[in-house]
Every structure is written in structure tokens, then in C-alpha cells.
Amino acid sequence: QQQVKQSPQSLIVQKGGISIINCAYENTAFDYFPWYQQFPGKGPALLIAIRPDVSEKKEGRFTISFNKSAKQFSLQIRDSQPGDSATYFCAASGGTYKYIFGTGTRLKVLA
């Protein structure tokens, strides 16, 4: 019940295309859902986050969509750029503050 399932494991997108990464959770106590971007050898960097009282949040080219009834949330990257090539992690937390991370999606944007 503590797991966060993330898909796909890897994704290849053409420059200018849309990248979509999905996550699902089971624990209804989760109330904070951040997305992190990680480059090789670096720590995760916060991209965007959402709470379950909102169904969508946009920041620049990044959008989180949240479906509370389905217990799913997704990250959309519009106009994907080669510089977006990285590993993306979804996470969830609630109550105890610790994050439960997904297994990651390795995104490659082709020039």
C-alpha cells in the first residue's frame, strides 16, 4: 500500500514533442505529490508538485494532472527539448512527511 507505481520505465520523444509519465498509488493518506528531475550523478531537483484538491497544475512547459478517484497522477512535458533528457521520479507523501518514490522514467529527447 506504500508503493508508487511509475510508467513507462523509459521514453524516447522527438524534440518539440509531448512526454507523458504516469504514476499510481494506493494509500489514500497521501496528500502531496511532487515530481523530481534527476541528471546523472546529481541529486533530484523539484520540478512541480500538486495536492489532491487540485486536478491540474501548470508551470511553464510542465503540467501535473491528478485523478483522485483513480489514484493516479501524471506529468506532461510540452515542447520537449534535448536538455529535458533526464530521469523523472514521481513521489507521494502524507502524514509522516517521508517521500515514497516511483521507480523512475528515463526520458531521452532526440534532437
Q: Which residues contact 22 (CB under 8 A, 6 or more apart)?
A: 6, 7, 8, 72, 73, 74
Tell me which of 25, 35, 73, 89 binds another protein, using CB under 8 A: 89
Q: Rounded distance, CA 45 to CA 66, Å?
A: 20
42 in contact with another protein (CB under 8 A)? yes
Across-strand partners of 4? 25
Residues numbered 59 to 88 that lie near another protein (CB under 8 A) are: none
Does 58 contact another protein by CB under 8 A? Answer: no
Residue 24 binding another protein, by CB under 8 A: no
Determine, following the binding rule CB under 8 A, whether residue 102 of this chain makes contact with another protein: yes
Rounded to a whole number of angstroms, the minimum distance from the CB of residue 90 to another protein is 9
Instruction: Please provide residue 90's backbone torsions phi and psi, each rounded to the nearest 5 degrees.
Output: -90, 160
**Closest to 31 measured CA to CA, from 97, 107, 101, 90:** 97
Residues that bind another protein (CB under 8 A): 6, 32, 34, 36, 41-46, 49, 51, 89, 91, 93, 96-104
